[in-house]
Structure 1
Amino acid sequence: MGIFDKLFGNKNEKEEANEDKKIFYAQQDKNMEEAYLQAQQTFKYFWRELYWEYRRIVPAQDLAIVKIPFKQKVDELEEPIVEHMWINEINFDGEKINGVLMNSPNELTNITIGDTVSVWLDEISDWLLAIQGKTYGGYTIQVLRSNMSEKERRNHDNAWGLDFGDYDDILVVYEQREHPENLTEHPMAKNMAEKAREFFKENPNEIMTIDENGNNMLHRESIAGNKTTIDILLELGADKTIKNKKGKTAFDYAKQLNWEHIIVSEEK
């Protein structure tokens, strides 16, 4: 055995291939962890779009789903079984995300398709929005697409029936490239400003009506990042000091979700 073999070992091709696989999967795990974090940090844009979608008479979205890692402990296994599955019919109160399971589990027996689900924001692993056939979000999907050939990506996208675009350039809001200002505020907030002012003037009780979580209109608009509507509500006398059942004001949620345009305005 030569000196270099003694120092570094004499690995055969199979051992080297196994090491390459380990490195690849370790990087994949790291990329997926980063994707989970990005999805959690940008979920606010998903919710803002969905918040306005619920107000539309004619739907604009093709798809709005959230991915969650569901777990089940099995006695004979050290680690719990984990399956990442999608939910739809999404709602969000600033704390927890609620929805309905779309998938049938492959291994889990503690949940089934159609079950109502409620999780904290930092528990989700992805979100995906599709408008006019184009996707927004989908961070974990883009990690998978990044390791596909061009042909595989085409087949993947055709199977979904969606345009996932560039896996290195993930968009989070509609017409983001054409109108980067949409990252700051949803265009409907501005376009509907006068109608909103008129509505709240004619229906002042709506300003202070609270839901089951103790959130009033100011809370809900802050969670959705709608500064234009917030300004109108404050102009018409909304009380920004009111706290919900969790002891939080509307501004607390703006800070929690990092809606910078609201935070900057409030702190002036």
Structure 2
Amino acid sequence: MGLFSKMFKKDEKEDEKKIVFAKQTPTMEDAYKKAQDTFNYFWREVYWEYRRIIPAHDLSIVKIPFQQKFEEFDEPIVEHMWINEIEFDGENITGILMNTPNQLTNITNGDSVSIKLSEISDWMFSIGGKTHGGFTIQLLRSDMSEKERKNHDAAWGLDFGDYDAILVAYEQEKHPENLIEHPMSKNMVEKFREFLNNNPDEINAKDDLGYTMLHREAIAGNKAIIDVLKEFNVDFNARTNQGKTASDFAQDLNWEHLIPIFQK
């Protein structure tokens, strides 16, 4: 049985249902906010995962709220469910719904969905079975007994670690510098420089949405790569079709180590 199949098998969804229908307490709202504020780390990791020859992630998923109004209820029914195959343009997150709704009929497993970053309720990725993120899950784990947590983690087949020490970057305990720059960003510098030497037309090329490489690297927080682009006189003033500069994305996503680059 595959990991995803195990995670969302109907008779193993009780803990997941607690999150789907979790009461909107201040602590749960705080978990949502933490997930939104740290999503930049999730996307940076996924960005590099898409560029690995051999995948490293067990999963990379985002939780978002879906709602539907029913005549028999005064308030809309809201279910928080996971999406995968994540893409991110600096403002909007898209993916494919992994869950089967419990009550909603306006969305179904396998649908493509899009949501603003400010509306997500959680994110999580796992490498070698060790989870990162999962703020709503860790909040629920904090209220469980030791036995309940053990059963919960076994149902997922993952190591959730300490609910009071949520990880956001790979190996950040051993390498706190990973909180600033992803190791692959530094490791790819020479290959990237070689690529630009051989493909100078790509330096300021725009895609259909008006994004340049500088925009994409700024969204992913890759200072080492941006430093190389700077060597090749990349256009720091380039704007997307929506009028956004790379500096705008760096500030919006709170990449503090990038902001000084654009202020010079």
Could you state the TM-score of these two structures normalised by the residue count of structure 1? 0.88
Residue 106 (structure 2) pairs with residue 140 (structure 1): no
Q: Root-mean-square deviation (CA), in Å?
A: 1.2
Question: Where in structure 2 are the equivalents of 1:189-200 lying within 5 Å?
Answer: 189-200=185-196
Alignment partner of 1:109 out of 105, 109, 115:
105
Q: Please tell me whether the aligned partners of residues 36 and 140 of structure 1 are also in contact (alpha carbons under 8 angstroms).
A: yes
Alpha-carbon distance, 1:266 to partner: 2.6
Alignment partner of 1:172 out of 168, 172, 194:
168
Alpha-carbon distance, 1:77 to partner: 1.6
Alignment partner of 1:225 out of 200, 221, 225:
221
Residue 42 (structure 2) pairs with residue 46 (structure 1): yes
**Higher RCO (C-alpha under 8 Å, 6+ residues apart):** 2
> Hey, what does 2:5 align to over in structure 1?
none
SS at match of 2:60: strand
> Hey, what does 2:149 align to over in structure 1?
153
Max radius of gyration: which structure? 1
Equivalent residue letter for 2:166? I
Q: Deviation string for 1:90-146 (max 9, x for gaps)?
A: 000001000000011010000000000000001100001000110000000000000
Residue 115 (structure 2) pairs with residue 119 (structure 1): yes
> Hey, what does 1:13 align to over in structure 2?
none
SS at match of 1:195: helix
SS at match of 1:230: helix
Q: Provide the C-alpha distance between the structure 1 equivalents of 2:172 and 2:66, rounded to a whole number of angstroms.
A: 32
> Hey, what does 1:17 align to over in structure 2?
none
> Hey, what does 1:211 align to over in structure 2?
207
Q: Provide the C-alpha distance between the structure 2 equivalents of 1:206 and 1:267, rounded to a whole number of angstroms.
A: 24
Q: Provide the C-alpha distance between the structure 1 equivalents of 2:260 and 2:230, rounded to a whole number of angstroms.
A: 16
Q: Provide the C-alpha distance between the structure 1 equivalents of 2:115 and 2:203, rounded to a whole number of angstroms.
A: 28
Residue 242 (structure 2) pairs with residue 240 (structure 1): no
Equivalent residue letter for 1:230? I
Number of aligned residue pairs: 243
Equivalent residue letter for 2:163? Y
Alpha-carbon distance, 1:218 to partner: 0.3
SS at match of 2:105: coil
> Hey, what does 2:183 align to over in structure 1?
187
Equivalent residue letter for 1:81? I
Q: Please tell me whether the aligned partners of residues 236 and 262 of structure 2 are also in contact (alpha carbons under 8 angstroms).
A: no
Q: Provide the C-alpha distance between the structure 1 equivalents of 2:206 and 2:41, rounded to a whole number of angstroms.
A: 23
Q: Provide the C-alpha distance between the structure 2 equivalents of 1:168 and 1:265, rounded to a whole number of angstroms.
A: 34
> Hey, what does 1:31 align to over in structure 2?
27
SS at match of 1:148: coil
Runs of 4+ aligned residues of structure 1 deviating over 6 Å after TM superposition are none
Alpha-carbon distance, 1:204 to partner: 1.4
Q: Provide the C-alpha distance between the structure 2 equivalents of 1:155 and 1:83, rounded to a whole number of angstroms.
A: 23
Q: Deviation string for 1:242-266 (max 9, x for gaps)?
A: 1101111111100010100001233
> Hey, what does 2:91 align to over in structure 1?
95
Equivalent residue letter for 1:86? W
SS at match of 1:208: coil
Q: Please tell me whether the aligned partners of residues 93 and 213 of structure 1 are also in contact (alpha carbons under 8 angstroms).
A: no
SS at match of 1:112: coil
Alpha-carbon distance, 1:212 to partner: 2.7
Q: Provide the C-alpha distance between the structure 2 equivalents of 1:264 and 1:129, rounded to a whole number of angstroms.
A: 29
Q: Provide the C-alpha distance between the structure 2 equivalents of 1:97 and 1:75, rounded to a whole number of angstroms.
A: 30
Q: Provide the C-alpha distance between the structure 2 equivalents of 1:79 and 1:65, rounded to a whole number of angstroms.
A: 28
Alignment partner of 2:253 out of 217, 240, 257:
257
